[in-house]
C-alpha cells in the first residue's frame, strides 16, 4: 500500500511524546527544534516528567489528555514503553507516528519482533509509521522540524536512511545556500519506505530536485523493489531524482547454479534498476549537492554539445578531456563562430573549443562576456562550461574587482536570456570571492573542481535524455505475445512441479518459450535409436542430438550433446552413445530420451537470461556469449518486464556492443529481433513469478533473425 504522507509533511498539529527539559536528552533537543523552527500548527508536549512547562508549553501526561485532534506524533521514548504509547496514539486517531527511538530491528531478532508489533498496532489504528531508529523529518511548507539538525527551507527534498549522512549532506548544502522542502530520515523502514516518500515528493511543487541516500531497500517481498521503481519512474518524469546508493543489498541474489545467476550480483541489478527508472546515481555527498545545485540553478539542457571557455589553457584542456566521460561532446566550433571569436580575441588565442582567452582578460575583462555571448548564440552549442581563474582577478587590483563583478552581472543576464545551461569552475572558489557568490546566486553554479562542473553539466544532459527515454518508452508498443501464453505455461510448470522437480528439461523449456511467441526450430523427443534415425532422415538436414534428463543440467559435462548428425547410422550411434554417457555420468538419472533438432546456422553468440532478484524480483539479462560473459562479465540487466524499445536500449549497454553492429566485415545482427526476444523473456519472467532462472545460451543472432540454441529453466524452489 502507498501512504498519503500529508500528515507527515503538512500536519495541522504535532505532539512530541517524550519531551524533556533536560538539555542532555533527545526529547529536549527535539522540543527545542520544533519550537525554534516555529511550526505553523498546534504543538503539544507529552511527558511523564512532572515539569510545569516544557519550552513554554504545558506538558500532557499522555497524548490521550490532549483535547484537540493530533495529526502527527513524534515518539522519542525508551523501547520498553513504546508499544503502549503507540497504542495510545492509535486510540487518539493520530494519522502518522514518527518513532525516533533506537533499539529495535537494528539490534537483532528481539528488536525485529517489537517492530512487527509496532507495525501491527499502527496498521490497526490506521496510522502510518516512520522509523524507528530515525532522526525525524522537516517540512518547509509548515515550518516543521522534528529532527535535531538545523535545516533551512529551499528547493531540495532529501530522503535518507542515515542520520549521519543527513548531517553530512546538510553541511554541504549550507555552504551553497541550499535548503529543503521535504526532508526525512526513514530509519528502519518498518512501514513508510522510499517509494512512499518519492511518490509524495514528486507532487510537491516546492521541490525542484529529489535526493535519496540509500543503503538498500527494505524488502519483505520484491513488491517493495517494484514500488520503488514505479515511484521513481513517475517522479523522474516530473523532476530529477539523484541518489547515492552504498553497499550491496544484504542477502544478495538467490544462490544459483547457472551462468546467469552467478553473474547477477544484486549490486549490478540495483544499479541497472536505478538507471532504468531514470535515477541519476552519484557517489558522494559532494557529488550529490554538485548535481543538485546545477538542477536548481540551470536551464534544462537541450543537447550534449558543450563549449568550453577558459582563461587557463590547461584548465580548458582538462575540461574537454573529461567531457566524454560524462556523456558530453565538445566538438570543434563552427567556422562562423570561430570567425566571430577571432574578431574578439588576439591571434594566439585558440578558438576551436576550448576557447582560450590566454591572457587577454588582464587587458580587457569584457572578453569573457563577449565570447560567452558568441558561444551562447551559436545554435550548435547546447551548454557552456567556463573554467579557470575567474574570481581571482580581484586580487590584482580594485579596478579588476569592480570589473569582475560588472562582467559577472552581464554574464548572468546573457545566460538567463539564452535559456541554456552554464556552469563554471574557478580555482578561487574555495575562497568564495564576492563575484563568484554573485554568479552562483544568480544562476551559474561555480565549482572548485573542473570535474564537478563537467559532471554537473553531464547530469543536466543525462536527465533530459532519461526523461525523453521514459516518455518514448511509455509510447512504445508492447511486445507481441500470444493470448493464451500464461495458461499454457502454467500447465507445463504445474506438470514439472507435480513431478517434484524445479528444473525443466530442455524440451519443456522450449515449449514454454514457444508459448511466449519464440519461434524455435522443431524438436522431437525420441526414446530409441531407431526413432532417432527416423527423425534425422525425416528432417533431411544435419541434426543436433541432446540427452534429455531432469538430472543432467549441464549437458556438455555429461557428454550429452552430439552435433552434425547426417545419416541414419550416425543417428543410431549418437543415441546409444548419449544414453551410455548419461548412465556413466549418473547411473540413477531419469532419462526422458534424446532430443533431435536441426543444426542451426552460425551467428553471433548471445545470452539472454532471467533471474529472480531479491530486491526487484523478475529481472532480465543480456550479454554476448563466450569470453564476453565469462571473462568480462559484460552483461546488462533490466527489471522485468521491458518493452522491445527498452530492450533495444539495453542491448547497447554492453561494452561489446560493436559485435552486434558487425565486426570483421560481418553484417550487423537483427537488433529488433534480439530486442523482441529479450522483451518476450522479460514478460515470461514477470508474468510467471515463480521462475528462478532462465538461461538461453547460446542464442545465435544473425542479420536475418536469431535462434535459441539451448534453453535452461529453473523454478523457484
Region of 308-316, 456-464, 589-597, 705-713 interacting with a second copy (CB under 8 A): 308-316
Edge-to-edge strands of the sheet including 306-310? 355-356, 306-310, 383-387, 422-425, 446-447
Beta bridge partners of 622: 608, 636
Q: Where are the alpha helices (DSSP H) in 480-595?
A: 485-498, 506-515, 529-539, 568-585
Is there binding between residue 167 and a second copy (CB under 8 A)? Answer: yes
Stretch that binds a second copy, among 99-107, 229-237, 463-471, 535-543 (CB under 8 A): 99-107
Measure the CA–CA gap between 526 and 47, rounded to whole angstroms: 80
76: Cβ contacts below 8 Å, ≥ 6 apart: 16, 17, 18, 26, 27, 30, 99, 100, 101
In whole angstroms, the minimum distance from the beta carbon of 389 to a second copy comes to: 6
Cell of 24: 542532555
Neighbours of 499 (CB within 10 A): 9
Segment interacting with a second copy (CB under 8 A) among 217-225, 412-420, 659-667, 679-687: 659-667
**DSSP letters of 210-246?**
EEEEES----SSHHHHHHHHHHHHHHHTTS-EEEEE-
Angle between helices 285-297 and 163-175 (to 10 degrees): 50
Q: HSE of 278 in the Cβ direction (CA atoms, 13 Å)?
A: 27
Q: Which is closer to a second copy, CB of 121 or CB of 189?
A: 189
Which residue from 21, 237, 286, 377 is in contact with a second copy, where contact means CB under 8 A?
286
Minimum separation from the CB atom of position 12 to a second copy (A): 33
Maximum distance among all Cα pairs of the chain, rounded to whole angstroms: 101
Among 206, 256, 373, 427, which residue interacts with a second copy (rule: CB under 8 A)? 427
The mark string for 312-331 relative to a second copy (x by CB under 8 A, - otherwise) is xxxx-xx-xxx---------
- From the list 199, 157, 160, the residue with the least C-alpha distance to 181 is 157
Are 565 and 545 in contact by the 8 Å Cβ rule? The answer is: yes
If binding is defined by CB under 8 A, does position 311 make contact with a second copy? yes
Query: How do strand 543-548 and strand 593-598 relate by DSSP bridges?
Result: antiparallel
* Least CB distance to a second copy at residue 249 (A): 12
Phi, psi at 597, each rounded to 5°: -140, 160
Record the cell numbers describing residue 37, joined without a space.
523552527
- For residues 9 and 165, which CB has a smaller minimum distance to a second copy in the complex? 165
CB of 512 to a second copy, least distance (A): 27
Distance CA(167)–CA(213), nearest Å, equals 12
627 near a second copy (CB under 8 A) = yes
Per CB under 8 A, 524 contacts a second copy: no
Binding status of residue 164 toward a second copy by CB under 8 A: yes
437 binds a second copy (CB under 8 A): no
Cα within 13 Å of Cα(66), Cβ side: 29
393 interacts with a second copy by CB under 8 A = no
152 touches a second copy by CB under 8 A? no
| Comparison of 106 and 484: residue with beta carbon closer to a second copy | 106
Residue 257 touching a second copy (CB under 8 A): no
Q: Is 388 in the site for a second copy (CB under 8 A)?
A: yes
- Decide whether 276 or 310 has the Cβ nearer to a second copy: 310
Confirm if 249 and 279 have CB atoms less than 8 A apart.
no
How far, in Å, CA of 552 to CA of 582, rounded? Answer: 8
**Measured distance CA(147)–CA(206) in Å, rounded:** 20
Is 667 a binding residue for a second copy by CB under 8 A? The answer is no
Taking CB under 8 A as the binding criterion, the range among 9-17, 255-263, 652-660, 698-706 that sits at the site for a second copy is 652-660
Whose Cβ is closer to a second copy: residue 176's or residue 572's?
176
Handedness of CA 627, 632, 636, 640 (dihedral sign): positive
| Candidate segments 219-227, 386-394, 500-508, 686-694, binder of a second copy by CB under 8 A | 386-394
Which residues fall within 8 angstroms of residue 27, CB to CB, at 6 or more apart? 16, 18, 19, 20, 47, 76, 77
Task: Kindly state the number of chain residues that form the binding site for a second copy, as judged by CB under 8 A.
Answer: 56
14 closest CA partner among 96, 97, 71, 60: 71
- For residue 487, the minimal CB distance to a second copy (Å) is 39
Residue 102 engages a second copy in binding (rule: CB under 8 A): yes
Contact between 431 and a second copy per CB under 8 A: yes
Region of 250-258, 269-277, 541-549, 654-662 interacting with a second copy (CB under 8 A)? 654-662
Q: In what helix (H) or strand (E) does residue 563 lie, and over which residues does it extend?
A: strand 561-565
Q: Does 215 bind a second copy (CB under 8 A)?
A: yes
When asked if residue 80 is in the footprint of a second copy (CB under 8 A), the reply is: no
Q: Which stretch binds a second copy (CB under 8 A): 156-164, 481-489, 528-536, 636-644?
A: 156-164
Does residue 520 touch a second copy according to CB under 8 A? no
Shortest Cβ distance from residue 289 to a second copy (Å)? 12
Helix axes 335-344, 367-377, angle to 10 degrees: 170
C-beta of 81 vs 400, nearer to a second copy:
400
Angle at CA 546, nearest 5°, toward 540 and 549?
140
Q: Does position 656 bind a second copy by CB under 8 A? A: yes
By CB under 8 A, tell whether 285 contacts a second copy: yes
Tell me: does residue 491 bind a second copy (CB under 8 A).
Answer: no
CB crowding 70-91: b at 16 or more within 10 Å, else e: bbbbbbbbebeebeebbbbbbe
Tell me how far, at minimum, the Cβ of 388 lies from a second copy, in Å. 7
Nearest approach, Cβ of 485 to a second copy (angstroms)?
35
| Residues 333-352 interacting with a second copy (rule: CB under 8 A) | 347-348
CB of 664 to a second copy, least distance (A): 7
Rounded to whole angstroms, the Cα distance separating 385 from 460 reads 12
716 binds a second copy (CB under 8 A): no
String marking each residue 4-33 x if it binds a second copy according to CB under 8 A? ------------------------------
Among residues 270, 428, 447, 463, the one that binds a second copy under rule CB under 8 A: 428
* Least distance in angstroms from the C-beta of 168 to a second copy: 4
Binding site for a second copy (CB under 8 A): 102, 106-108, 161-162, 164-165, 167-168, 171-172, 175, 213, 215, 246-247, 283-286, 311-315, 317-318, 320-322, 347-348, 359, 388-389, 392, 427-428, 430-431, 448-451, 627-628, 630-632, 655-656, 658-659, 663-664
Amino acid at each position: 500500500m502507498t501512504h498519503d504522507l500529508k500528515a507527515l509533511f503538512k500536519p495541522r498539529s504535532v505532539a512530541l511524546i517524550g519531551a524533556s527539559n533536560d538539555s542532555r536528552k533527545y526529547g529536549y533537543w527535539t522540543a527545542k527544534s520544533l519550537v525554534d523552527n516555529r511550526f505553523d500548527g498546534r504543538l503539544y508536549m507529552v511527558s511523564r516528567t512532572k515539569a510545569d512547562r516544557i519550552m513554554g508549553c504545558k506538558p500532557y501526561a499522555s497524548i490521550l489528555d490532549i483535547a484537540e485532534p493530533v495529526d502527527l506524533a513524534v515518539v522519542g521514548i525508551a523501547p520498553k514503553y513504546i508499544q503502549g504509547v503507540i497504542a495510545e496514539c492509535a486510540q487518539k486517531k493520530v494519522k502518522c507516528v514518527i518513532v525516533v527511538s533506537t533499539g529495535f530491528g537494528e539490534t537483532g531478532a528481539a528488536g525485529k519482533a517489537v517492530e512487527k508489533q509496532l507495525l501491527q498496532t499502527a496498521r490497526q489504528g490506521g496510522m502510518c509509521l516512520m522509523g524507528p531508529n530515525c532522526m525525524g523529518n522537516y517540512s518547509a511548507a509548515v515550518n516543521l522540524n522534528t529532527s535535531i539538525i538545523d535545516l533551512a527551507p529551499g528547493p531540495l527534498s532529501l530522503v535518507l536512511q542515515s542520520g549521519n549522512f543527513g548531517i553530512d549532506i546538510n553541511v554541504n548544502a549550507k555552504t551553497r545556500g541550499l535548503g529543503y522542502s521535504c526532508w526525512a530520515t526513514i530509519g528502519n523502514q518498518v512501514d513508510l519506505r522510499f517509494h512512499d516518500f518519492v511518490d509524495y515528493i514528486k507532487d510537491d511543487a516546492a521541490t525542484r530536485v529529489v535526493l535519496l541516500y540509500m543503503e538498500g531497500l527494505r524488502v519483505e517481498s520484491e513488491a517493495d523493489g517494484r514500488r520503488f521503481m514505479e515511484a521513481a519512474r513517475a517522479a523522474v518524469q516530473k523532476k530529477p531524482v539523484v541518489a547515492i546508493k552504498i553497499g550491496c543489498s544484504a542477502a544478495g541474489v538467490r544462490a544459483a547454479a547457472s551462468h546467469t545467476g552467478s553473474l547477477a550480483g544484486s549490486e549490478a541489478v540495483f544499479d541497472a534498476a536505478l538507471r532504468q527508472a531514470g535515477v541519476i546515481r552519484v557517489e558522494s555527498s559532494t557529488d550529490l549537492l554538485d548535481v543538485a545545485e546545477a538542477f536548481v540553478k540551470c536551464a534544462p539542457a537541450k543537447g550534449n554539445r558543450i563549449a568550453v571557455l577558459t582563461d587557463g589553457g590547461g584548465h580548458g584542456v582538462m575540461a574537454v578531456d573529461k567531457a566524454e566521460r560524462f556523456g558530453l561532446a565538445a566538438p570543434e566550433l563552427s567556422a562562423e563562430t570561430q570567425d566571430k571569436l577571432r574578431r574578439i580575441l588576439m591571434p594566439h588565442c585558440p578558438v576551436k573549443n576550448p576557447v582560450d582567452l590566454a591572457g587577454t582578460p588582464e587587458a580587457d575583462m569584457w572578453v569573457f562576456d563577449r565570447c560567452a555571448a558568441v558561444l551562447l548564440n551559436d545554435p550548435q552549442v547546447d551548454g557552456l562550461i567556463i573554467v579557470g581563474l575567474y574570481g581571482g582577478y580581484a586580487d590584482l587590483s580594485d579596478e579588476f574587482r569592480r570589473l569582475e563583478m560588472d562582467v559577472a552581472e552581464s554574464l548572468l543576464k546573457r545566460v538567463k536570456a539564452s535559456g541554456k545551461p552554464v556552469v563554471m569552475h574557478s580555482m578561487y572558489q574555495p575562497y568564495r570571492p564576492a563575484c563568484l557568490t554573485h554568479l552562483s546566486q544568480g544562476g551559474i553554479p561555480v565549482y572548485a573542481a573542473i570535474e564537478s562542473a563537467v559532471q554537473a553539466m553531464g547530469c543536466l544532459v543525462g536527465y533530459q535524455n532519461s526523461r525523453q527515454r521514459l516518455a518514448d518508452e511509455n509510447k512504445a508498443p508492447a511486445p507481441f505475445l500470444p493470448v493464451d501464453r500464461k495458461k499454457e505455461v502454467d500447465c507445463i510448470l504445474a506438470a514439472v512441479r507435480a513431478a517434484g522437480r524445479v528444473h525443466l528439461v530442455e524440451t519443456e523449456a522450449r515449449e514454454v518459450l514457444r508459448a511466449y511467441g519464440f519461434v524455435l526450430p522443431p524438436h522431437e523427443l525420441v526414446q530409441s535409436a531407431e526413432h532417432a534415425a527416423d527423425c534425422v532422415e525425416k528432417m533431411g538436414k544435419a541434426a543436433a542430438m541432446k540427452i534429455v534428463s531432469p538430472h543432467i543440467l549441464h549437458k556438455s559435462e555429461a557428454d550429452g550433446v552430439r552435433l552434425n548428425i547426417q545419416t541414419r547410422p550416425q543417428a543410431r550411434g549418437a543415441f546409444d552413445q548419449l544414453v551410455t554417457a548419461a548412465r556413466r555420468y549418473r547411473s540413477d538419472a531419469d532419462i526422458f530420451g534424446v532430443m533431435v533438432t536441426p543444426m542451426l546456422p552460425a551467428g553471433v553468440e548471445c545470452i539472454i537470461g532471467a533471474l529472480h532478484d531479491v530486491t526487484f524480483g523478475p529481472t532480465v539479462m543480456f550479454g554476448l556469449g563466450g569470453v564476453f560473459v565469462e571473462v568480462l562479465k559484460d552483461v546488462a540487466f533490466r527489471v522485468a518486464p521491458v518493452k522491445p524499445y527498452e530492450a533495444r536500449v539495453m542491448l547497447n549497454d554492453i561494452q561489446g556492443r560493436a559485435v552486434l553492429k558487425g565486426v570483421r566485415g560481418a553484417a550487423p545482427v537483427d537488433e529488433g529481433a534480439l530486442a523482441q526476444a529479450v522483451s518476450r523473456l522479460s514478460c515470461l519472467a514477470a508474468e510467471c513469478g515463480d521462475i528462478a532462472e532462465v538461461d538461453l545460451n547460446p542464442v545465435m543472432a544473425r542479420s536475418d533473425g536469431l535462434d535459441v540454441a539451448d534453453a535452461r529453466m529453473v523454478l523457484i524452489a
